[in-house]
Amino acid sequence: MKFFNYSTVILAFLCSVAVSAQEPVQVTVTEDAEAPIISKHIYGHFSEHLGRCIYGGLYVGEESMVPNTAGVRNDIIEALKELKIPNLRWPGGCFADTYHWKDGVGPKDERPTMVNRWWGGVTEDNSFGTHDFLNLCETLNAEPYLAANVGSSTVKEFTEYVEYVLHQGGSPMAEWRKENGRENPWDVKYWGVGNEMWGCGGNMTAEHYADIYRQYATFMTDWTNSDGLFRIASGANVDDYHWTEVLMRDIPKHLIEGVALHSYSFVEWNEKGSSIDYSEEQYFSTMKTALKMDTLVTKHSAIMDKYDPNNTIALVVDEWGGWYDVMEGTNPGFLYQQNTMRDAMIAGTSLNIFNNHARRVKMANLAQTVNVLQAVVLTEDEKMLLTPTYHVMKMYNVHQDAKLLPVDFDSPTYKFEGEELPAISISASKTDAGQVNVSMVNIDAHKSHTVEINLGDMDIKDFSGTILSSEDLQDHNTFDQPEKITPKELKKVKFRKGILEVEVPPFSVLVVTGK
C-alpha cells in the first residue's frame, strides 16, 4: 500500500498556485520628443598598461607567430570591430600619471625601458606607444581617449603631447611626429586631464586639483581647428559628492567638457572573493554594489545640474565593472579574473542605468578590454575567447546613438536573507529608421519573470530577440569550452495589439528588436 505525504502535496500545490498567480511585470514605453540620444560613447572601453592587457594581450609584437597587424592580434581587432566599440581609453588608469609619452615614440629599439610601479613592478620596453595606439583606433574606427599625465608631468610636457598629436605641421612636435612616420595629425577629441587625482594621481584635495586642472586646461589647444577638444576632469571616487561639487563650482565652463566618475562592483573592497567560486550571498552583495550606480549617477548629476542647468558638461563614467580576487596562480598585480554570468548581470544592469541617464551620461568605459578585471576578451598564447560581458555589449550595441524611450514599471524583488533588490532592469530606444530596441535583465538567481511591455501606438509589426543565459550562475567560457555561453535566438516572443510579452529566466539578459 502506498502512503502519501499530504503536507508535501499541499505545499507543492500552494507553491504552484503562487507561481501561476504571479502577476506579469507591467512596463509602459513612451515616446518623448524631449528624450535624449543614447550616445554611442556610453559603450566605450578601457585598456591600461596593466598585467596582460597590452603586452601579451592586445599587443604581441610584429614578430609573433600569432597573426597580427602592426603587432596587434588580428582576432582581437576583428572581435572589437564586431563589438562596434566607439572609443578606447589609454594608457591608464594609475599608469597614466607615471607615463611619459615621449618614451613611447620614435624607433622602437631606441626607446628607454620603464618600470610599471603600479602593476606588478614589471619592466616595459615602451614598444607599444602613441603611434601604435592611435593607429589601432583608426583600424577599429574608434575614437581615442587619451588619459594624459598630470600627476608626475608638467604643463609643458602635456601641451607638447597635444601638439604632437594634433598640429598639422611647422611646429617642433609636429615635425618630430613626421620624422617618426606619421605625416598627418590624428583626430583626437577626448583628453583626460589626469586620472584619480584623489588617489594614485597625486592624493590631492578637490580644491587643489581644480586649480591644477584650470592651469592644464588653459594651455590645451585644438590645433586642428575642428569642433574643439573634449577635456575630461578626473572625477569622483564613488560617492565623493564633495569632489564633484568643487569641480563644478571652481572650474569655469569654458575650460571643461566632462567630469569623470569611477565605481566598481565587488563583494567587499577588502574581501572581493573568487571570480568563479562564489556563493549566492557574494553574488547578491556584488549586485547590490552594481545597482548603486543608479544612485551615484543620480546624485552626481543633481550636483552638475545645479551648476550646469543647460547640460553642457558630460558625466563620464570612465571606469566601471566587476572586481574580484585574481585567478589562483596568477600575478596579484595583473588583476586577471574570469568572467561569469554574474558579470553579464553587471554589464546589462549598468548599461541600462547609463542608457536611462543618457541626458547627463555621455560616455562610459568598461574596465578593461583584455585580460584585466571585467574583460570582454581573454587570451592564452595563441588562443582567444569572448566573455559573457562581450556578448552583452554586442547585444546592446543596437542602442548606440538611438533615441531613449522612457520606461515606467515596478520591478519585482530579488530576496536574499531578509534583503531585497529590484530583480528587473530595462532600457529602451528607437533608431532614426524606426527600429525599437528593448533590453532586459533579470538578476534573480532563482525566479523567472513574465514581462509585458505596452508600446502604445508605435507602428511595430513584429519582434525578434536574443538571450544570454546559462544553467549555473557561475558558468563561464574557458579555452577548452570557449562557447559555453553565447547568445541564442529568443524563440518565445509574443507581440499582439501593441503588447510585447517575454519570459525572462533567472540571471539572464535579453534584447528584443521590433521593426
Count the neighbouring beta carbons within 10 Å of the beta carbon of residue 308: 17
Task: Name the residue type at position 12.
Answer: A
Write the CB contacts of 479 (distance below 8 Å, at least 6 apart in sequence). Answer: 378, 380, 383, 385
**328 is an active site residue:** no
Task: Name the residue type at position 370.
Answer: V
State the Cα torsion 437-438-439-444 to the nearest 10°: -170
**196 is an active site residue:** yes
Residue 512 burial by CB count (10 A; 0-12/13-18/19+): exposed, middle or buried?
buried
Write the CB contacts of 215 (distance below 8 Å, at least 6 apart in sequence). Answer: 155
Q: In what order do the strands lie in the sheet with 407-408?
A: 407-408, 25-29, 449-454, 499-504, 493-496
Question: Does the N-terminal peptide bond of residue 91 adopt cis geometry, omega within 30 degrees of 0?
Answer: yes
| Residue in 48, 143, 163, 319 annotated catalytic | 319
Question: Where is 275: in which H helix or E strand?
Answer: none
Task: Name the residue type at position 62.
Answer: E
| Residue in 160, 163, 196, 257 annotated catalytic | 196
Rounded to whole angstroms, how far apart are CA atoms 391 and 372? 17
Rounded to whole angstroms, how far apart are CA atoms 73 and 102? 25
Known catalytic residues are: 196, 319
